[in-house]
């Protein structure tokens, strides 16, 4: 069994975590001066950013996994296909649909989490004023909705791909 992290999920986690960190950082920088650690020692800043991005992205990914339960009630997907499907079909599904689905869904969740919790978190917990012009919040909401819509479309394509693959396999076994 290969336990090496796959690029798609890793990119989705780091990218969505990075989005949360960058939005928070720029909100603080816009509201007042940026935290000094990000300017004094670049190596520390990069290391801290990478670690926090991965942690936050993993949380965003876990939120998506929890939401999958709700979404699967409405339009169930046979996720066990990733375990019993043909290796070429799984590779195609992952390369053309699933990795993009994960990234889109995780990015939509990250932006929505920031819009709902970000300003309050930065202000209350870090004690920093964090404000964007109202137009930035509208643009972020539109971007989140675009990612969410694309994730929904990709989820539909994943379901269709799995269903067609399952039918094809059933027809081959009958013949």
* pLDDT, tens digit (0-9, with 9 covering 90-100), for 10-64: 676 777 778 777 777 777 666 665 555 556 677 777 777 777 788 788 888 899 9
Contact indicator for 63, 105 with CB cutoff of 8 Å: no
Cα–Cα nearest to 49, from 40, 60, 35, 38? 38
Give me the domain span that covers residue 144.
7-170
Instruction: Report if residue 175 sits inside a domain.
Output: no
Instruction: Report if residue 2 sits inside a domain.
Output: no
Look at the pTM and tell me if it is higher than 0.85: no
Contacts of 61 (CB under 8 A, 6+ apart): 9, 12, 13, 16, 102, 106
Instruction: Report if residue 108 sits inside a domain.
Output: yes
> What digits encode the pLDDT tens for the residues 119-169?
787 777 667 667 788 898 999 999 999 999 999 999 999 999 999 999 988
Instruction: Report if residue 165 sits inside a domain.
Output: yes
User: CA angle 100-111-44, nearest 5°?
Assistant: 90
Count of domains in the chain?
1
DSSP 36: T
């Amino acid at each position: 069994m290969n336990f090496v992290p796959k690029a798609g999920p890793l990119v989705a986690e780091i990218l969505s975590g990075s989005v949360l960190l960058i939005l928070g950082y720029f909100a603080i920088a816009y509201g007042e001066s940026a935290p000094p650690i990000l300017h004094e020692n670049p190596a520390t800043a990069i290391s801290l950013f990478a670690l926090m991005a991965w942690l936050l992205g993993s949380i965003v990914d876990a939120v998506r996994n929890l939401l999958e339960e709700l979404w699967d009630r409405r339009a169930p997907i046979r996720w066990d296909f990733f375990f019993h499907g043909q290796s070429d079909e799984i590779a195609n599904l992952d390369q053309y649909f699933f990795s993009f689905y994960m990234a889109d869904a995780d990015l939509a969740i990250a932006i929505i989490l920031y819009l709902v919790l970000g300003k309050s978190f930065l202000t209350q917990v870090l004690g920093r004023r964090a404000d964007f012009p109202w137009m930035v919040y509208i643009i972020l909401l539109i971007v989140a909705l675009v990612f969410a819509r694309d994730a929904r479309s990709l989820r539909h394509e994943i379901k269709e791909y799995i269903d067609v693959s399952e039918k094809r396999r059933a027809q081959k076994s009958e013949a």
